[in-house]
Each structure stands twice: as structure tokens, then as C-alpha cells.
Amino acid sequence: MQCFRVIIIGFILIAGNIIGQTYELRGIIIDGVVGNPLSFANIRAINTNTGTAATFNGEYILKLNSGEYTLVASYIGYNSDTLRVDLQSDLNVNFILMPSAIELGEVTVVPGVNPAIEIIEKAIKKKHERNAILTSYIFNAYTKGRILSTQEISAGGTSIGIGIGKDTADLKITGILENQSKGYFLRPNYYKEEIIARKQTANFPPTINILTGGRIIQNFYSDDIQFFGRQLVGPISDNALNYYYYYIEDTLAIDNKNVFQIYFSTIDENDPGFYGRIFISAKTYDLLKIDIDLNSAANPGGLFTNVNIFQQFVPYENNIYVPIDYRLFVEGNYLGLFKFGFEINSILYDYEINPALDKNNFGMLVLKVQPEADKKDSSYWRDIQTIPSSLYEVEAYRRIDSLESIETTFWDRFSFFADRLYLNDNFYVQGVMGLYHFNHVEGHSPDFSTGFQNLFNDRFNGSLDLSYGFSDKRLKKNINLIYLLDEYRTSSVSIGIFDKTNILFNESDNYNAFTSTITSLFGKYDFRDYYRTSGFSVDYKSEIFPVLSLNLGFINRTDRSLSSKSDFSFFNRNKSYPTNTSIYDSKTNAAKFGFKFDFRKYIEDGKFRRRIGGSGSNISLGGEALFSDPSILNSETNFQMYSLNINSRVRSFASTYFDLLLEGNISKGAVPVQLMKALPGNIESSGKN
């Protein structure tokens, strides 16, 4: 009996291994007449939901379980090539496609009528018919992003740094991002996506690798087309005929079925949008392919020299056309200082058409990185990769990983104008420009600060600021610590300990210490008032719902007025500094309560929850209450102060927007002047007395 059990278990393991075995089909698709590769040709396994598209060089990879398949390679302008394979191991299969004949039927030309308009009208009608029967879908995507520049780049957190300098060299691959994702759509506009696996070159942290997933994949069958944070009209959007002009540029064929090649562009060249070619079936009026560019009016600040979008569509269940790929090619030259580019290549496959999806599973989260996404090994990537790696990409991985392994010294990170000088990835000291400041209250003041960031798995940050005034003879100290809690660091505990010179109404002061130092030393004018504050603060903040965060805290502060201690200036020695405004000298113990409603959607990048603005307008609502009471909190002040603010970003014309901040305050009792609010203003001329 024991032997029988062993045999049964062994049989199950072997059978499971056979059934789950995935093999790789690899090859090239070429023109049967001249032998040129057919860029981005489609390959599908009939009677399955699996397919892919070739690279620019006509190369493809298709992952399938063992079994018999009928494969079809297709390309507009050619007859499809069909091949049957019995897949029991990795195979190399090439496809040769022959040009397709065009069937020229009778065409009636009406004077003054553009035949392309009628085609677009029927394509828009077909889009509505498609959308009426497409209630939901699920798809998988494999995405590869390539960053190109003339110089090596580095990244940290969610930012990318590129060395600036005149360089006319050719672009090279300086970064690669790859991820596997799964997307969900439910009518009318519910959408979310999850990244299952991701990897990138060593010069990028994983948190950067969200740019090639989620909503960056555009579907031109949708009216929701967004580029660089703004909504654009697509070539078959409902209002496209009032926005673009069209004409039939050519008639092609696929499997001897005619396809219209239509050129389009904006009627008004000042309107942001697209121009290029779309391909529409002459029989069904389905959109088959787009090869278009972003026009100059949609180019933010003229930053990019070229933005090209390429996408193809294939039929699935009920002859519903869905995207099989999405390719974005961008080149730019920033102020002539450096050239750059990036490419996005996405293959969409394994569609499930009209599955049962619950709208309650959709919410504020639009993109989530799965916890295991960064832990996939090389064998996993070999099994799921659907875009072949070129020799240039393999070399780029090797070169970048080699460069990143070289230890970076302090002088490699040094910059004279930097706010901080990093000793390593976690610790920093004060930058050169911040080592000194001057004002008429403290006098000449050497400054020093140091701090740390992203310790304990990106949770712990802190800083220490020191300053000594040679005129007021005081050493100022300021310590800040913050620890982030919860899986996505949506809660925090912060502590502050301070004995420092503070700026009166500093919340409304948008200038730095360097500005007042220059106006004081060279113009003998200081637009600020100062006071001394010492004590401590404790705050706790937490996001209790996706749209609501609460915070509470306690502050102990002793505030004292200060007076001028220095009359120094290089020029205007006959002038006097303005009298420093006195405050209400007091000790305040206060409890603080606050809330914030933020209705923007968010992504979870594996460590942090980050809000996204999208292409439309957005709004947030916040408030705070401050209570100071002598009997309960042993405070020298007795007041209650309430504030409410509305913060909104409103899209306007072209690529512009404006920010709107409304803030209201109400109080009960005598509020110390140093705790009041003031409207921001501009500094006066340094030469004005």
C-alpha cells in the first residue's frame, strides 16, 4: 500500500509538471517578396486568448502550454500565414507573408463630399456598437520601457537625474523598466490595474517602475485619451469630425479584404491633438491600427521633438476588437543642453471578454504593485517575457549594472549649489550655500544641518539644524523626527524639539534665507520680522479612509520678542533697519485636531500610497482646530482657533491650469499675534527706505 501511494503521488507530480509546462515560440516575420522584417506584425493562437506582436525588427516571442495550436501571423497589406504546430518543446518558427491583392469595387464620387467623412462616421457608429456589447474585460500586459540619453542617468525615490551639458552624441539606452500587469475594466468607467512582476536596471529603484503600467496604456477605442496630464480628442472620438479633417490616403488589404488608410490632422493647428494615419476595415469599419503623432499644440512647453503612438486592434469574442499592443516613442532636446528619449512597448494578451466583475471591487485605487512583484527570479521572467530582448538591451543591462556597482564617493555627489550634500543614500549634511545667513536680529550666523532619510525600509527620517548668531550670542537648535506606519506608510508619528529664531507669519513667506541675506548685506533692508520660540511638538496623522485622513497633536511653545542686534551692511550705511515687530510674549500649551478630504485617486507602488491628479480638475478640503486652555493644559493663553481650507487645481485652456486656495479662520479668545495668519505679499525694493 505504501508503494502504491508513492506511485500515485509521483504520477500526480509528473502529470502536473507536464500540464503546467510552458514553452516558447520564437521567430521572425518577413515580407515574402523582398525579405524585409514586418514591424509589429500580429501573431495569434487560434481558439485561444493568447497572442502577441512583433518588435520593430519583426521578431516575436509567444509563450504557450504544451499542445497543438494553429498559429496565424497577420499584417495590413499582406495575406496571413497560418501554421499548425505540436508544441512539446521550445520552437523556432518564422512566418513569410505575401502582399494581399486589393479588390477595387465601384466607387461613387459626389462633388463636394469627402468620402473619408462617411468612413469616420461609420467608424464612430461601429465604436458605439462595440461599446454597447462590451460590458467588461480583463487582460494581461507585458510592458518594456527604455530610457535613452547621451549621458548616464540615476534615479532615487520617484525622480530621475540626468547630467546636463552640451552633447551631440547619439542616444544610448541608459535605463530599462519591465513589468507584467493585469488590467480590469467595467462599464462605464471603472478601471484598475495591478503589477504582478517588475524589474529594472540597477540605476532605478523599483518605485520608479510604475510608469509603464496602469493608465499609461491608452486605448484609442475609448474617448478617454490622456497625454501628459491632459485630455485629448481621439481620431474616432464622438466629436472628432468637428475637430479633425480627414482624407483617404490609400487603400490596402489584409487577406484580400480592403483597408482604408486615412490621414487626419486638427482643423485648427493651434488645437492640441494628433495627426497621422489610421487604418479602418472597408467592410466592417472597425479600427484596425493607428500610427499617429502628437502635434505641437499638445507638446508641453515644446519639450519634445517627436511623440509617436502606434497601436493595433484584433477581434476576440463576438468580433469585439481590442488592443493587442501599445507603443510610444518619444524624443526631446531640453534647451539644447541634452537629448533624451523614451520608448514604451506593451503587449496585451489573454483577454477575458465580458467576465462578471463587481463594481464594489473598484474604488480610489487605480494601480497596485503586488507585494511579490519585486521578488520574481530569472526563470519567472523567462517564462513570461513576450518582447524579445535585443543585443543592445542585454548590453545596457550589463553596462548599467556594472556602473552602479562602482562605489560613489562624496565628491561624485558634490554640487556647490545643492541644498544638501549626500554622504550616501541615507545621510546628508548642509549644502555650501546654506552654511551662512545674516539678519539684523542675529547678525552673522554660521549654520549647520545634518539628517537622515529612508531608514528602516523607507520609514524613518530625521534632521538636526544648528545655528549661532554672533550678535545675539545664542545657539539655535531644531530637531525633527518622523516615523511612517502602516503597509503603505499612510500613518505617521512626528516629534519636534526646538529653540530657534522664527519668522513672523512664516507660513506666508515663500522666500529663503539667502534672499533676506542678500537684501540685508547689500541693500540694508530686511522684509522679515523675527521672534524666539522654544519647546516641543508631537503629532499623529493617519489615513482612516481612502478619502479621509485625521491628525491630532500637542504643542508646547514659549515665544519671546526679539530686537535688532546688528546694524551691519556693505552699503547704505546711513540707513537703519526696520524696527523688529514685537509679539505677544507667552507660553502656549495647545491641543491640535485636523482632517483632510482628498478625492484624488491613488496608486500603491509597493511602499507608498501616492495621489495622482489625472487630466481633469481636482479638489481637497481640510481643516484644523487649535485649543489652548489655562485650567486644563496649564497654558498662559486662552483661545480657540478654527481654520478651513479648500485647495483646488482647475484645468483651463491648452496645457495651462490654475491653483486655487481658499482659507478661512475664526477664533474665540485672544490669539497671540505670532499664531495668526497673514496674506503673502512681495518684498519691497531693497533700495526703498
The residue that leads in pLDDT, 93 or 683, is 93
Give yes or no for residue 166 having a pLDDT over 50: no
Averaged confidence pLDDT in the chain: 87
pLDDT for residue 439: 96
Entry field: residues in the chain:
689
Which residues contact residue 678 at a Cβ distance below 8 angstroms, ignoring those fewer than 6 apart?
A: 505, 507, 508
The residue that leads in pLDDT, 255 or 247, is 247
Q: Classify 394 as helix, strand or coil.
A: helix
Pairing assessment for the beta strands 22-31 and 95-97 based on DSSP bridges: parallel
Task: Give mean pLDDT, residues 45-66.
Answer: 88
Task: Give mean pLDDT, residues 2-25.
Answer: 51
683: confidence class by pLDDT, cuts 50, 70, 90: low
- Compute φ and ψ for 164, nearest 5 degrees: -105, 135
Which residues contact residue 507 at a Cβ distance below 8 angstroms, ignoring those fewer than 6 apart?
A: 677, 678
Task: Give mean pLDDT, residues 88-93.
Answer: 91
Top CATH class of 115-404 equals: mainly beta
110: confidence class by pLDDT, cuts 50, 70, 90: low
Give yes or no for residue 42 having a pLDDT over 60: yes
pLDDT for residue 206: 84
**Angle at 77 (CA atoms; ends 73, 81), nearest 5 degrees:** 25
Locus of grid cell 491613488: 602
Percent of the chain with pLDDT over 70: 89
Which residues contact residue 197 at a Cβ distance below 8 angstroms, ignoring those fewer than 6 apart?
A: 179, 180, 370, 372, 373, 376, 380, 381, 384
207: confidence class by pLDDT, cuts 50, 70, 90: confident
Give yes or no for residue 423 having a pLDDT over 60: yes
User: For residue 347, which amino acid is it?
Assistant: I
Task: Give mean pLDDT, residues 43-62.
Answer: 88
Task: Give mean pLDDT, residues 67-84.
Answer: 91
Lowest mean pLDDT among 22-26, 79-83, 160-164, 251-255: 160-164
Which residues contact residue 509 at a Cβ distance below 8 angstroms, ignoring those fewer than 6 apart?
A: 503, 528, 680
Q: What span, in angstroms and rounded, lies between the C-alpha atoms of 638 and 62?
A: 73
Give yes or no for residue 13 having a pLDDT over 60: no
Give yes or no for residue 18 having a pLDDT over 50: no
Q: What span, in angstroms and rounded, lies between the C-alpha atoms of 684 and 689?
A: 9
Cell numbers representing residue 585 in the block = 510674549
pLDDT for residue 684: 54
Nearest to 312 by CA among 35, 25, 38: 38
User: For residue 59, which amino acid is it?
Assistant: E
Give yes or no for residue 245 having a pLDDT over 90: yes
Task: Give mean pLDDT, residues 434-451.
Answer: 96
Lowest mean pLDDT among 102-116, 154-168, 663-677: 154-168
Determine how many CB atoms are found less than 10 A away from the CB of residue 126.
19
pLDDT for residue 2: 46
599-638: b (≥16 Cβ within 10 Å) or e: ebbbbbbbbbbeeeebeeebebbbebbbbbbeeebebebb
Nearest to 286 by CA among 129, 132, 102: 129
215: confidence class by pLDDT, cuts 50, 70, 90: low
Task: Give mean pLDDT, residues 9-25.
Answer: 55
Task: Give mean pLDDT, residues 390-405.
Answer: 82
Give yes or no for residue 3 having a pLDDT over 50: no
Segments making up each domain of the chain, as ranges: 21-97, 115-404, 410-675
Q: What span, in angstroms and rounded, lies between the C-alpha atoms of 30 and 97?
A: 6
pLDDT for residue 484: 98
581-609 tens-digit pLDDT: 999 999 999 999 999 999 999 999 889 99
Give yes or no for residue 490 having a pLDDT over 90: yes
Locus of grid cell 514685537: 582
Give yes or no for residue 405 having a pLDDT over 90: no
pLDDT for residue 104: 57
Task: Give the H or E element holding residue 498.
Answer: strand 491-503
pLDDT for residue 204: 85
pLDDT for residue 658: 81
pLDDT for residue 165: 43
CB 561 within 8 Å of CB 584: no
631-645 tens-digit pLDDT: 999 999 999 999 999
Task: Give the H or E element holding residue 519.
Answer: helix 513-523
Give yes or no for residue 212 having a pLDDT over 60: no
The residue that leads in pLDDT, 164 or 632, is 632
607-619 tens-digit pLDDT: 999 998 766 688 9
CATH no. of 21-97: 2.60.40.10
Nearest to 516 by CA among 581, 431, 442, 421: 442
Q: What span, in angstroms and rounded, lies between the C-alpha atoms of 592 and 538?
A: 10
